[in-house]
Structure formats: structure tokens, C-alpha cells
């Protein structure tokens, strides 16, 4: 775990003081809402349908037990006893009072957390692989590079007023668990001829114009990482469109210029910046790396064999654990998707429990997944049964990772001022339907993602099945999409045809999943069958 | 950091070009700035005004004759001017860079870091707010066009 030093702490403390002053001026009527808005947005404070919403940054999705306890305390003290984990690996609180917002930031600062740059047209929280530092398939832990970029991007004076928001993701495996190519910049740490470097994918994104990022540089040496990132951002800041908010993301710039032309501009800027002293001393990267060294894993022993005599436990192990690089360990996924529940929500009690379980069984560490679940990254196989028992008793043991019940859903019209349709009740209905009819088990891996508007916070473009809520003449209507993937085989889902009512789209999902079941050949997932047989049979089943 | 010089009443400029804050000791340029296109077409201008869509790099061949660059911010949310200022400083320009237009107190600290050393905001700023904003953050994480030492250099032995 990265730990703040005096400098990191001083910066966060200064931000709290600044915001306390700004919020007080707003409360005293010295600032209008128009004047206050850009200031509160720089601290992740949104004004939503019913209340203020605060988005707290969780850098690269990594939390300590102490931090998770603090998030639970905030849910209890300032909200209604729960929080919502997001597709950006952050947490949002939905019922915040402006009078208390600065106190929350102060509570966060005590555990080395903040809400800096969680909104606004700036570089947002850096996301990463939720199995970083644990996965057997990574070339290195990507988080030191994410942390370096966190520092570089924090209070960056040139890039605070970009054309639009900017999201960066860092992974270090050929297996993409972080939707890397659907970010403004996706970075993959790679090894080439015994040297480590960074491949840059620039111009991906979802929203109303989804695009998969092209690779614009296959190898940037690690001692030039910041300079190259700075060049990418400067070209965007100078040339990104500002005439139309919907065409302002970097994906449009890269698309309109062409990836080669954009890459050429970046190379010229990069060559110029190499002489400007923007790169941190390499010793800083080495210092950061020391915080991410492996915990003291126990030597593999005789009790590494998992006792599978309890079938419910065995099912959870099969579904919700992931191969670890250390013998005798796995990463365990805590599902925040109970049958019929609200995806990504956790109560304060559940957060406290997860924090305690991380302390007892996972070297004090937790991760937030972009799929809105929580990972205990380093669990000894011999502890798994105790862990599962405790989770199951708290409603956190649902064995549905990457199943149809493991739905990504944005907050939707229940909370969000941008939404056109509700996402949460639909997710609850789908989850309930496929639990009741027993098909979840048979369907296998099936990633379902729901967005309540075209901004695509629920990643519907990247769902094996995606749902987009729209407003059709004042009524909520749901479009169905098929064939998306946010993994290393990134693809964008296509709309099946005319939309459905809320109940109609639940039926439609059952129709397409039944067609998959009757069409699949041995070993095919839903997405594989879709790619083999194409859209036409699905359309016929839905509308024929 | 030098104390700002406050130009005397009736000093340079009119209307929204009134310089409110200046962090330089040299003489104010006493003639109006011209557009980038005009500047490139005439050889005697020493003050030029950059609009957000202008390519700052076109000026780099002429830096020796420029004494003032005004960077216009029609809206505070258009951040192209930050890159313009940094590019000028990175190219060795040490004349005045003046932010004009929709310049708000919350932008001043970042503008200073990008190389702006004079401000002519449309609406005058409260000077004690400016002072507070400039002194709010004790450190900086990254290198920019100012002389502040980034945190990551401080950590590894460089003096502030």
C-alpha cells in the first residue's frame, strides 16, 4: 500500500482548508451557485436530483482496512448508512449536506484519502487492474506507475481546464480486467527484450460516441513515462474540440486527426519536453515501488488443498476466486450483487466487515473492481472457508462473478440529474428473474451492463448484453445491445432494434439468452456464440 | 515571489485590458497588442495577443522582438492559454505574459505556474483572495514554467 509522506499529507490538508473556506462563502451567500459550482466540482461534489453527491477517489481501486472503515464511518455519520462503489473504482455518497462536506473531506484526509479531481474537465482518478500485485498473469504490478501518474496529475497547472474530463488506466497484463482500451489513455506496462516500458493506447471511451483506443506508441521507456503522458495531454489541450461538449473528448480528436497524425504531434511535443525537466527523478519511481512489494506470503503447505465437501462453498470458490501468483493463495471477490439487490451498494456494516476480513485474511488490503465488487487480493486457500462463511452470513457471499446477476448499473434516474431512465430497478428485476428461473448457472459467463442515459456510466457499450435507458416521449424505454466486451478482446455492442418497456426488456434478455443456450457449441460463452452466429438470429428471435 | 506591482490610476490600457496584477519590475509596454496574424505580417510590433485558437508556436521565431504577450481567456473554462504560456516559457521567452479576459481568482495560482506574470481580468479580483489563493498550497507535485521544486525532487534531496 502506498503511504502518504509529509508532502502528500500537506497537499490534501491544504485542499480541505481551501474547500472549507469556499463552502463557507457559499453558505454565507458570498458565492452564487454559479460561482460555487466549478469549485465544488473540483472536489467531487455534485448537485443531483435530491441532494449533493460526493465522489471520493480510490486511487487505482486500492484500499487499506483502515480506509474502508473510514468510508463506512462516513456512510454512517453523513449519509444514510450506505455508499455506492462505481465503475471508476471510486465510492459515491448520495445524501450529502453542503454544511458537512468539508468535514467529510477532513475525515478522509485523516486516512490519506480525498475527492480531488473526481469531477471537472481535468485528469480524473487513475484506474487499474483490480488483481494488480496478485494476478499470476501480470508482468509486474502496474500500481507504482499509476501512483506516479496520480502525483503528476494532481493539481497539474496546465491541464485543469481541458476540453473535457480525462480518464487514465494502467494495467500490466495481456488480460485486460480494467477496460483499458476504453479510456482516454490506456497504458499497458509491457516487457520487451528484457526491458520494461509502457504501451500507450489513446482515444478510447464510451459515452455517446464509443471508440476503442488505438495504440499510438508501443514502447515508452519507464524513465520517460511522465514526459510522454504530458505530451499526449498537451496535444489534446491545444487541439481538442471546444466548440461542442459532445465532441470534446480526446477520442474525437484522435479519430478526426487520425491516430498516426495524432501520434506524430505527440512525438514532436515529446521530443521538445524531454529537454524541459518534467520527468521525475527515477529514484521517485523506485521509492514508490517499495510500497507495492509483496506482502509476506506464507510458504505453500499441506493445507493448500481446498476442502470442497460443502457444495455452496465449492460453488463460490469456483465462481468468485482468481488465480494468484503465490502458491497457496487466491484473490477472492466479494459480490456486491446479491439477488435482487442494488449493484455496487454496500452498507456501513458490510464495509466494516469487509475491512475486518481484509485485516484477518488479506494482509489488510482491499480493491474496488470496475464491475462494482470488492476484492480481497491475497487470501490463503486455507482461510477461504472461514472467509466465505463470514461473507455469506452478511449477504456478501453471492457466487455470481461475471454471471448474469453480476450486473453493472449506473445510479440512473433514481439519483442522477443526467439520467433518462432508471437503471437500479431494472437491474434488480433481471437479477431476480434469472435467479428464480435457475438459468444463471447454465448461462455461464455473461456480462450485463446497464446505463440510464447515453453517457454510458454503466458501460452498456461493453456488455455482452448492454441496456441503454432512453426517454421516449416521456416514458422510460430500454434499448438492447449485444456483443460488447471490455476485456482484451475489446468490442462495442450493437443495438438490436426498437427498444422495450422495462418489463419487455427483461423478457427480451431471456429471449436472447435462450437463443444462446440453444445455439452454443461446446465451451462457447454468450459472446462467443454471438460473434459466431451474428446479430441476425437474435433479431429474428426478438422481433421476428 | 516578487510583490505584485499595481499600475497607477490611468496607467496602461483601457476597459478589460486594465492590468490589475503584475509580478515584474520592468516597464509596462505602452502600446496596444496586435493579433497573431497582424504580428506575423508586420515587423515592428512588440506586443501580440493570442486567442485560444492561435498556434503559439508561430511566434517562436520572433521571440527576440516581443515584449508582451497577451493571452485571452474568453471563458475561464477554455484552458488552451495555459499551454500557450508554458510553450512560450519553455522556448526561452522572458517578456511579459498577461492573462486577459475571464480570469478568476481560482485560476491565478495555476496561471502563475504556467508562466503568466500579469493579469488584466475583466472583473477586478479581490486582492486578498488572490494572495490567499497563491499561498494556499505549500508544495507542487510536478514541474511547470515556474521555479518551484516539485515534491518528487524535494524527496530526493533537491532544495526547495
| CB-based burial label for B123 (10 Å; 0-12, 13-18, 19+) | exposed
**What are the cell numbers at A169?**
488506466
- Pick the closest to residue A259 from A309, A222, A300, A211 (CA basis): A211
pLDDT at A303: 66
Contact: B142, A278; criterion CB under 8 Å: yes
* B65: Cβ contacts below 8 Å, ≥ 6 apart: B43, B45, B46
Tell me if chain A has a CB within 8 Å of the CB of B154. yes
Contact: A242, B52; criterion CB under 8 Å: yes
Q: How far is A56 from chain B (nearest CA, A)?
A: 20
Domains assigned to chain A: 6-110 (3.90.480.20), 142-290 (3.30.413.10), 303-393 (3.90.480.20), 408-543 (3.30.413.10)
Alpha helical stretches, state H, chain B: 36-41, 80-90, 105-114, 127-135, 151-154
- Residue whose grid cell is 449493484: A343
What is the distance between the alpha carbons of residues B156 and A134, in angstroms, rounded to a whole number? 29
Contact: A151, B151; criterion CB under 8 Å: yes
CA nearest to A156 within chain B:
B142
How large is the average pLDDT for residues B8-34?
73
Q: How far is B81 from chain A (nearest CA, A)?
A: 8
- Pick the closest to residue A265 from A297, A223, A236 (CA basis): A236
Q: Which residues of B touch A161 (CB under 8 A)?
A: 76-79, 82, 107
How large is the average pLDDT for residues B13-25?
76
What is the distance between the alpha carbons of residues B19 and A294, in angstroms, rounded to a whole number? 56
Tell me if chain A has a CB within 8 Å of the CB of B90. yes
pLDDT at A443: 97
Q: How far is CA A61 from CA A409, A516, A519, in A?
A: 18, 34, 38
pLDDT at A506: 98
Lowest mean pLDDT among A362-376, B23-37, B65-79: B23-37
- Asked if the model's pLDDT at residue B2 lies above 70, the reply is no
Question: Helix, strand, coil proportions of chain B in percent (round to 5)?
Answer: 35, 15, 50
- Asked if the model's pLDDT at residue B28 lies above 80, the reply is yes
pLDDT at A302: 62
Pairing state between β A185-192 and A168-171: parallel
State which residues of chain A have pLDDT below 50: none
Q: Out of B79, B132, B150, name the one closest to residue A237 (CB).
A: B79
Q: Out of B80, B110, B132, name the one closest to residue A238 (CB).
A: B80
Q: How far is B33 from chain A (nearest CA, A)?
A: 22
- Pick the closest to residue A226 from A264, A187, A265, A260 (CA basis): A187
Tell me if chain A has a CB within 8 Å of the CB of B139. yes
CA angle A221, A226, A227 (to 5 degrees): 85
Q: Dump strand ranges (E) for A28-144.
A: 45-47, 52-56, 62-64, 82-85, 91-96, 127-128
- Asked if the model's pLDDT at residue B5 lies above 60, the reply is no
pLDDT at B13: 40
Helix (H, G, I), strand (E, B) or coil at A269: helix
Q: Which residues of B touch A121 (CB under 8 A)?
A: 77, 79
- H-helix or E-strand spanning residue A380: strand A374-380
pLDDT at A50: 85
Tell me if chain A has a CB within 8 Å of the CB of B147. no
Contact: A11, B138; criterion CB under 8 Å: yes
- The strand pairing partners of A500, in sequence order, are A478
Q: How far is CA A340 from the centre of its chain?
A: 22
CA nearest to A269 within chain B:
B87
- H-helix or E-strand spanning residue A376: strand A374-380
Q: Which residues of A touch B (CB under 8 A)?
A: 5, 7-8, 10-11, 14-15, 17-18, 21, 38-39, 121, 151-152, 154-162, 226, 234, 237-238, 242, 272-273, 276-278, 280-281, 283-284, 287
Tell me if chain A has a CB within 8 Å of the CB of B143. yes
What is the distance between the alpha carbons of residues A292 and A2, in angstroms, rounded to a whole number? 7
- Pick the closest to residue A448 from A417, A404, A483 (CA basis): A404
pLDDT at B112: 98
Alpha helical stretches, state H, A47-206: 65-78, 98-110, 143-153
- Asked if the model's pLDDT at residue B9 lies above 50, the reply is no
| CB-based burial label for A324 (10 Å; 0-12, 13-18, 19+) | buried
* A205: Cβ contacts below 8 Å, ≥ 6 apart: A167, A182, A183, A184, A211, A213, A249, A250, A251
A395-432 pLDDT, tens digit per residue, is: 999 999 999 999 999 999 998 889 999 999 999 999 99
Count the alpha carbons within 13 Å of A368 in the hemisphere toward its beta carbon: 33
Q: How far is CA B106 from the centre of its chain?
A: 15
Amino acid at each position: 500500500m502506498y503511504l502518504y509522506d509529509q508532502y502528500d499529507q500537506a497537499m490534501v490538508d491544504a485542499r480541505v482548508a481551501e474547500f472549507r473556506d469556499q463552502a463557507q462563502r457559499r453558505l454565507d451567500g458570498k458565492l452564487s451557485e454559479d460561482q460555487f459550482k466549478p469549485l465544488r466540482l473540483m472536489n467531487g461534489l455534485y448537485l443531483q436530483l435530491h441532494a449533493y453527491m460526493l465522489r471520493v477517489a480510490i486511487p487505482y481501486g486500492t484500499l487499506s482496512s483502515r480506509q474502508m472503515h473510514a468510508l463506512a464511518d462516513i456512510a454512517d455519520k453523513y449519509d444514510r448508512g450506505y455508499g455506492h462503489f462505481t465503475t471508476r473504482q471510486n465510492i459515491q455518497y448520495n445524501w450529502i449536506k453542503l454544511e458537512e462536506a468539508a468535514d467529510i473531506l477532513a475525515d478522509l484526509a485523516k486516512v490519506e484519502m480525498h475527492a480531488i479531481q473526481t469531477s471537472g474537465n481535468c485528469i480524473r482518478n487513475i484506474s487499474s487492474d483490480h488483481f494488480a500485485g496478485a494476478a499470476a498473469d501480470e508482468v509486474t504490478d502496474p500500481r507504482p506507475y499509476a501512483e506516479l501518474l496520480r502525483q503528476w496529475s494532481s493539481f497539474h497547472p496546465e491541464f485543469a481546464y481541458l476540453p473535457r474530463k480525462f480518464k487514465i488506466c494502467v494495467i500490466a497484463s495481456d488480460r485486460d480486467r480494467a477496460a483499458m482500451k476504453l479510456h482516454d489513455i490506456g497504458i499497458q506496462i509491457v516487457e520487451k527484450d528484457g526491458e520494461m516500458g509502457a504501451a500507450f493506447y489513446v482515444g478510447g471511451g464510451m459515452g455517446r460516441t464509443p471508440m476503442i483506443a488505438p495504440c499510438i506508441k508501443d514502447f515508452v521507456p519507464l524513465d520517460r513515462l511522465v514526459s510522454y503522458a504530458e505530451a499526449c495531454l498537451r496535444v489534446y489541450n491545444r487541439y481538442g474540440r471546444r466548440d461542442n461538449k459532445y465532441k470534446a473528448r480526446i477520442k474525437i480528436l484522435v479519430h478526426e486527426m487520425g491516430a498516426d497524425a495524432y501520434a506524430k504531434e505527440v512525438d514532436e511535443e515529446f521530443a521538445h519536453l524531454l529537454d524541459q525537466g518534467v520527468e521525475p527523478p527515477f529514484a521517485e519511481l523506485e521509492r514508490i515501488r517499495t510500497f507495492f512489494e509483496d506482502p509476506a506470503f506464507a510458504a505453500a503447505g499441506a493445507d493448500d488443498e481446498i476442502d470442497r465437501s460443502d457444495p455452496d462453498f465449492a460453488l463460490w470458490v469456483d465462481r468468485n476466486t482468481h488465480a494468484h501468483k503465490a502458491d497457496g493463495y487466491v484473490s477472492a471477490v466479494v459480490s456486491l450483487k446479491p439477488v435482487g439487490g442494488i449493484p455496487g451498494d454496500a452498507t456501513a456494516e458490510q464495509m466494516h466487515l469487509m475491512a475486518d476480513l481484509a485485516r484477518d485474511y488479506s494482509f489488510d488490503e482491499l480493491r474496488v473492481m470496475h464491475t462494482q465488487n470488492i476484492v480481497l487480493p491475497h487470501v490463503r486457500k486455507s482461510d477461504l472457508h472461514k472467509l466465505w462463511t463470514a461473507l455469506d452470513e452478511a449477504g456478501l457471499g453471492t457466487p455470481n462473478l461475471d454471471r448474469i446477476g453480476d450486473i453493472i448499473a449506473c445510479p440512473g434516474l433514481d439519483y442522477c440529474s443526467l439520467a433518462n431512465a432508471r437503471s437500479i430497478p431494472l437491474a434488480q428485476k433481471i437479477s431476480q428473474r434469472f435467479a428464480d428461473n435457475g438459468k444463471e448457472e447454465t448461462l455461464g459467463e455473461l456480462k450485463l451492463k446497464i446505463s440510464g442515459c447515453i453517457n454510458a456510466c454503466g458501460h452498456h457499450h461493453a456488455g455482452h448484453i448492454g441496456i441503454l435507458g432512453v426517454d421516449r416521449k416521456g416514458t422510460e424505454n430500454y434499448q438492447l445491445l449485444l456483443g460488447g466486451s471490455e476485456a482484451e478482446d475489446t468490442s462495442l455492442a450493437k443495438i438490436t432494434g426498437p427498444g422495450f418497456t422495462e418489463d419487455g426488456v427483461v423478457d427480451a434478455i431471456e429471449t436472447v439468452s435462450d437463443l444462446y443456450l440453444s445455439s452454443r457449441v461446446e465451451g462457447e460463452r454468450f459472446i462467443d456464440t454471438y460473434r459466431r452466429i451474428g446479430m441476425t438470429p437474435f433479431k429474428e428471435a426478438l422481433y421476428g | 515571489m516578487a510583490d505584485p506591482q499595481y499600475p497607477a490610476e490611468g496607467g496602461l490600457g483601457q476597459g478589460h485590458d486594465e492590468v490589475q496584477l503584475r509580478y515584474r519590475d520592468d516597464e509596462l509596454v505602452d502600446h496596444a497588442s496586435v493579433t497573431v496574424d497582424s504580428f506575423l505580417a508586420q515587423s515592428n510590433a512588440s506586443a501580440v495577443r493570442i486567442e485560444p485558437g492561435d498556434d503559439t508556436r508561430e511566434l517562436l521565431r520572433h521571440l527576440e522582438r516581443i515584449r508582451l504577450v497577451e493571452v485571452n481567456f474568453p471563458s475561464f473554462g477554455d484552458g488552451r492559454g495555459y499551454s500557450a504560456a508554458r510553450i512560450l516559457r519553455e522556448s526561452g521567452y522572458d517578456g511579459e505574459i498577461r492573462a486577459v479576459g475571464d480570469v478568476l481568482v481560482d485560476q491565478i495560482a495555476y496561471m502563475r505556474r504556467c508562466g503568466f506574470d500579469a493579469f488584466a481580468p475583466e472583473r477586478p479580483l479581490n486582492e486578498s483572495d488572490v494572495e490567499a489563493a497563491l499561498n494556499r498550497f505549500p508544495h507542487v507535485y510536478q514541474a511547470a514554467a515556474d521555479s518551484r521544486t516539485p515534491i518528487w525532487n524535494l524527496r530526493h534531496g533537491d532544495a526547495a
